[in-house]
Amino acid sequence: AKEPVRVLVTGAAGQIGYALVPMIARGVMLGTDQPVILHMLDIPPAAEALNGVKMELVDAAFPLLKGVVATTDVVEACTGVNVAVMVGGFPRKEGMERKDVMSKNVSIYKSQASALEKHAAANCKVLVVANPANTNALILKEFAPSISEKNITCLTRLDHNRALGQISERLSVQVSDVKNVIIWGNHSSSQYPDVNHATVKTPAGEKPVRELVKDDEWLNAEFITTVQQRGAAIIKARKLSSALSAASSACDHIRDWVLGTPEGTWVSMGVYSDGSYNVPAGLIYSFPVTCQNGEWKIVQGLSIDEFSRKKLDLTADELSEEKALAYSCLS
Ligand code: NAX
């Protein structure tokens, strides 16, 4: 039998946490043959709720779940973890300045970075979900210098999956037959959902999405804004932000990273830019990646037209600005 993998979920008493921990315990993230030990962290005001989640995990009698640590102590939470899913953060509340929210999250990610660096297992893989996800991941990277930048990522898979979903609905095809959309840039409304290399599996072979949709006007405008604004549309409908889709996408992100992407398929992940596609190095930026043997690699050589170029640059500019704002909170 396999040794259990320790998975940390921060903000585990929140709504994404509530959807995510049972998925992990069922093997959705790491495979149905992989035992897991869940480490759940939240802050003292949520301690009782967190304990309630632990009680439910016990009650669900998940065969793969070999242990649960529920704590408000960041050192205990981080000790020995192999995978860290960072969902906890400070939300933007009405009337709050962007700088104030940034400052709260910078201080959270700075201290959690140190705890992970000192106490996590070697080669721990980190996924930041909490917003501003890209910049929180960058802060985490800066303050955990001994964790390889290859191991620090942020979630844009939800946006990627939303793009697949929109194409599937539009063409009335199975979502599993659509692939290779790309989310470029920030997990914010400046992101660029790109279908220029996306395809659909048809009885006559793989066809480009553009050829099948036959409506560039829709693809270049409404499709993009629908994906960019989907989070807001969910809040409007549910009066709560996306939770089950965020949790499911976080599982997709880690699963593909650890177990690999299928041949010929890429996914979107926020990763540390090496300057690929002339995106400034040193930002956490969402790129198309393939994964093998537990490592992601940015897909190279895709053609970028003028329309796309502008959009890649726009979201990079926003991230550079966020980075500067985050750094200004440090001093
Ligand atoms: P909730 O407010 O329901 O849960 C957040 C939890 O984090 C709370 O239980 C809170 O007590 C805890 N927390 C706060 N500070 C903490 C700290 N320092 N250490 C540990 N835990 C802490 O929010 P939820 O709806 O679950 O969303 C969580 C985060 O995901 C938010 O930042 C949200 O903006 C972000 N999202 C990111 C998405 C993405 O695709 N990257 C999509 C969904 C979601 O909007």
Q: What is the pLDDT of residue 46?
A: 98
Point out the catalytic residue in the list 160, 187, 197, 253.
187
pTM (predicted TM-score): 0.98
H or E segment at 20? helix 15-25
Phi, psi at 173, each rounded to 5°: -120, 165
Confidence of residue 22 (pLDDT cuts 50, 70, 90): very high
Q: What is the pLDDT of residue 92?
A: 83
41 CA → ligand 1 middle, Å: 11
**Ligand 1 atom with least separation from CA of 13:** 9
160: annotated active-site residue: no
Residue nearest (by alpha carbon) to ligand 1 atom 22: 88
Q: Which residues contact 291 (CB under 8 A, 6 or more apart)?
A: 256, 257, 258, 260, 261, 267, 297
Distances from the Cα of 314 to the Cα of 40, 158, 162, 191, 318, angstroms? 36, 20, 21, 9, 6
Residue showing tokens 């049972």: 22
CA distance 68 to 313: 43
**Ligand 1 atom with least separation from CA of 242:** 43
Per-residue model confidence as pLDDT tens digits over 42-51: 999 999 999 9
Residue showing tokens 């940034």: 102
Q: ipTM of the assembly?
A: 0.99
β 83-86/125-128 pair status? parallel
Per-residue model confidence as pLDDT tens digits over 97-154: 889 999 999 999 999 999 999 999 999 999 999 999 999 999 999 999 999 999 999 9
